[in-house]
Amino acid sequence: MPKKDFLSIADLDRPDLERLLRRGLEMKNARKEGREKRTLEGKILGLIFHKPSLRTRVSFEAGMMHLGGRTIYLTDKEIGIGSREAVGDVGEVLGRYLDAIMIRTFDHTIAVDLARHAPIPVINGLTDLLHPCQILADILTVIEHRGSIENRVVSFFGDGNNVAHSWINAAGLLPFTLRIAVPEGFEPSAEIVETAKKRGGKIEILHDPRAAAKDADVLYTDVWASMGQEAEREKRARAMAPFQINAELLRLAKADALVLHCLPAHRGEEITAEVIDGPHSVVFDEAENRLHAQKAVLEWLLA
């Protein structure tokens, strides 16, 4: 049986995605009720970080501990992947030491090459192209609070970035409407959009934030300048200022709309403090759900 990886939501089919979401909620409830099972006893996960992270590192380390496994944390100083040592060689070597690898890096091709050469599962903890673990947690949060994402309207504001791309991938599999509201010049990958539409995705690319917010069930945003884009910060802030999630935009959404943000948040930039700290916000449930969604992925790949 060929080994499985988790590099992109687009690599899944709908039953697999729904199974992961269902299992994530089951695992969250099992932990709350003290009946969690240590299904990964003796397994070791390697964590490769080229980008620092609070949620990714802690949620993967804690998740493996909860399930009985262990982790080894690796930075580029130890590996020099793609510079000191070829990606394929790293994959071959780590595949003989570990049971799985999570990589959080810049260039998506590094994650793809690592998965191609490693004889063990590889998980995309984030690349500049995609952030599939985050979107699993996001959808799990919507289901937790609203029972289902089916027939909902999710509106994403700001930059057509890796988070937007993974939302688009998910819209190609699940029956909800996705609106991507971005300034001109910051649209998501046309190829990713077209692929998701061919799979049945209901996706709209808009340049009017008010139209995107109208009667939406979920308002979602991310930072305007991600790691590696600091030099563009002022330019991005000027372009994206009209796409800030604030009280005015929230009033256009449904009365019970949820507000999500993948964190870290810059209050006063992509979202106001009033909204992110207000009653519609479920961002800390969303952050917690990284743990449970990723535990479902780890179990799916390793148990």
Specify whether 133 is catalytic: no
| Inter-axis angle of helices 132-146 and 162-171, nearest 10 | 60
The active-site residue, picked from 159, 244, 262, 294, is 262
State the DSSP H helix or E strand holding residue 50, giving kind and residue range, or none if neither.
Answer: none
- Return the DSSP state at 177: E
The active-site residue, picked from 222, 280, 292, 294, is 222
The active-site residue, picked from 23, 104, 152, 165, is 104
The tokens for 218 are 């979920």
Q: Name 99's Cβ contacts closer than 8 Å, sequence gap at least 6.
A: 43, 44, 45, 69, 120, 121, 302
Rounded CA-CA distance 217/258 in Å is 6
- In the chain, what is the straight-line distance between the N-terminal and C-terminal CA atoms, in Å? 14
The active-site residue, picked from 23, 290, 292, 294, is 290
Helix (H, G, I), strand (E, B) or coil at 250: helix
Specify whether 290 is catalytic: yes
Specify whether 244 is catalytic: no
Measured CA to CA in angstroms, residue 26 lies from 22, 29, 81, 135, 158 at distances of: 6, 5, 36, 18, 33
Rounded CA-CA distance 36/282 in Å is 24
For residue 225, which of 236, 214, 212 has the smallest C-alpha distance?
A: 236
Asked if residues 275 and 251 have their Cβ atoms less than 8 Å apart, the reply is no
Specify whether 70 is catalytic: no
The active-site residue, picked from 108, 131, 152, 292, is 131
Rounded CA-CA distance 31/66 in Å is 9
Active site residues: 104, 131, 134, 222, 262, 290
